[in-house]
């Protein structure tokens, strides 16, 4: 058996601990059936940590996150902590994790599972079989660029400023993630910017092209303006394989693509950092949804987004494509069998609890 894969699980708040219970059962099953040696630790984060430790994330948890091969997060936040000052809110823990782990590439798959094709607001023929990966630059661009701020001018007018700024290295490292991913998929990358009106977009396009020509000539690269990409995503989404774009455009386009699938409880994500000398990247996996306080504690949350995030971990942090596919195929199978948590319920389907969905998934893994 190879070295243990260390995972830090951060269940968080609301439905986070409920869905994470199902992940642990799946991890246990993989340990038993595939002899994968997981070394799983768990720590508090968000509101749970504020209540127990007085801070949204402790130094000890940060150190454990840095040391782990991968981190899996449930969700943080809830009404109990809504009135805290911004610097003490549960969400600060997430920002700190992303910043200190240096997570510069956010991976947001938009996959339409066949049995859920009707959940999309687009026509079934447009989204059936959809499988897009959006790679969003996460630590640069206009959300972080300087100068920024609001100032009062001499004539009394006020001026708000944010700066879109990218360096060669920032563009190249996120583009490399996109090209690497494409090589494991349909081998196509669409790079998205606004080089028609923004110099930072010109630089983005030039650097992506340079990296492509020198290191990834076998990958099909196209360029698209962000406004056109927004239209194409709802006009003909299946034209895309991997989309790579900056922080601002990626924020919007990944949410737009997510809604092509129509179901928040099904959406996983990954955030990756710089590779170390052994090629290991810091990595955080989490569902796109939040802590869903409206249904927390009822045992009805959909665990599939978190389970699919765990499958992404198997694939991208541990290179275990077989185990990842086994989990993903089991998800397809339970959906095909008509099992649905309340959020994805359809006429004629069987409504199940969080735990029953986990039971069905474990059983389906035996057949995949
Ligand atoms: P939300 O994603 O928690 O919930 C939106 C709606 O979707 C709710 O009706 C909820 O019941 C439903 N939903 C979400 N996930 C579901 C699941 N797995 N199964 C079934 N139904 C599900 O978003 P919100 O209501 O805007 O935010 C609630 C709290 O979560 C807030 O405190 C917010 O700050 C926090 N939040 C955290 C994260 C995160 O931890 N990454 C992300 C978004 C929101």
In tens digits, what is the pLDDT along the chain, a chain of 368 residues?
467 999 999 999 999 999 999 999 999 999 999 889 999 999 999 999 999 999 999 999 999 999 999 999 999 999 999 999 988 999 999 989 999 999 999 999 999 999 999 989 899 999 999 999 999 999 999 999 999 999 999 999 999 999 999 999 999 999 999 999 999 999 999 999 999 999 999 999 999 999 999 999 999 999 999 999 999 999 999 999 999 999 999 999 999 999 899 788 999 999 999 988 888 899 999 999 999 999 999 999 999 999 999 999 999 999 999 999 999 999 999 999 999 999 999 999 999 999 999 999 999 999 76
Whether residue 256 sits in one domain with residue 118: yes
| Domain C-terminal end among 204, 234, 261 | 261
Print the domain residue range for 359: 1-104+273-368
How far is the centre of ligand 1, averaged over its atoms, from the C-alpha of 290 (Å)? 3
Whether residue 89 sits in one domain with residue 5: yes
Whether residue 117 sits in one domain with residue 203: yes
Among the atoms of ligand 1, which is closest to the Cα of residue 74? Answer: 40
Q: Which of 230, 252, 269 is nearest to 133 (CA)?
A: 269
Q: Where residue 141 sits, what CATH number does that domain have?
A: 3.40.718.10
| Domain C-terminal end among 237, 261, 285 | 261
Whether residue 254 sits in one domain with residue 353: no
Ligand 1 is surrounded, with C-beta below 6 A, by 15, 75-78, 91, 94, 264-265, 286, 289-295, 301-302, 305, 341, 343
Whether residue 202 sits in one domain with residue 137: yes
Whether residue 296 sits in one domain with residue 186: no
Whether residue 239 sits in one domain with residue 117: yes
Q: Is residue 268 a part of any domain in this protein?
A: no
- Residues 347, 352: Cα–Cα separation, whole Å: 14
58: tokens are 């402790």
Q: Is residue 335 a part of any domain in this protein?
A: yes
Whether residue 182 sits in one domain with residue 90: no
Domains: count for the chain: 2
194 catalytic? Reply is yes
The one catalytic residue among 194, 241, 282, 285: 194
Q: Is residue 267 a part of any domain in this protein?
A: no
- Residues 294, 224: Cα–Cα separation, whole Å: 40
Whether residue 296 sits in one domain with residue 244: no
Whole-prediction pTM: 0.94
């Amino acid at each position: 058996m190879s070295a243990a894969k260390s995972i830090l699980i951060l269940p968080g708040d609301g439905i986070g601990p409920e869905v994470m219970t199902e992940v642990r059962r799946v991890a246990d099953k993989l340990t038993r059936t595939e002899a994968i040696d997981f070394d799983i630790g768990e720590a508090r984060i968000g509101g749970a940590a504020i209540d127990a430790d007085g801070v949204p994330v402790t130094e000890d948890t940060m150190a454990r996150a840095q040391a782990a091969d991968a981190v899996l997060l449930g969700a943080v936040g809830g009404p109990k902590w809504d009135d805290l000052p911004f610097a003490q809110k549960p969400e600060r823990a997430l920002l700190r994790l992303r910043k200190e782990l240096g997570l510069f590439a956010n991976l947001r798959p938009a996959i339409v599972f066949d049995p859920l094709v009707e959940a999309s607001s687009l026509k079934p023929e447009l989204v059936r079989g959809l499988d897009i990966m959006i790679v969003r630059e996460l630590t640069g661009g206009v959300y972080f660029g300087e100068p920024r701020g609001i100032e009062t001018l001499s004539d009394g007018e006020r001026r708000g400023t944010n700066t879109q700024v990218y360096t060669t290295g920032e563009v190249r490292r996120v583009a490399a993630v996109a090209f690497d991913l494409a090589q494991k998929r349909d081998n196509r990358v669409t790079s998205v910017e606004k080089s028609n009106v923004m110099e930072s977009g010109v630089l983005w396009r030039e650097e992506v092209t340079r990296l492509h020509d020198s290191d990834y000539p076998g990958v099909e690269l196209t360029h698209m303006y962000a406004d056109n990409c927004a239209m194409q995503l709802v006009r003909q989404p299946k034209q895309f394989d991997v989309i790579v774009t900056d922080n601002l455009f990626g924020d919007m386009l990944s949410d737009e693509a997510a809604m092509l699938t129509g179901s928040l409880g099904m959406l996983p994500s990954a955030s990756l950092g710089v590779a170390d000398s052994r090629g290991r990247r810091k990595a955080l996996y989490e569902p796109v949804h939040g802590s869903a306080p409206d249904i927390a504690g009822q045992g009805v949350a959909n665990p599939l987004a978190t389970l699919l995030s765990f499958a992404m971990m198997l694939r991208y942090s541990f290179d275990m494509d077989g185990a990842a596919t086994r989990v993903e195929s089991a998800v397809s199978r339970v959906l095909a069998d008509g099992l649905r948590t309340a959020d994805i319920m359809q006429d004629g389907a069987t409504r199940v609890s969080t735990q029953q969905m986990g039971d069905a998934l474990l059983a389906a893994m035996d057949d995949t």
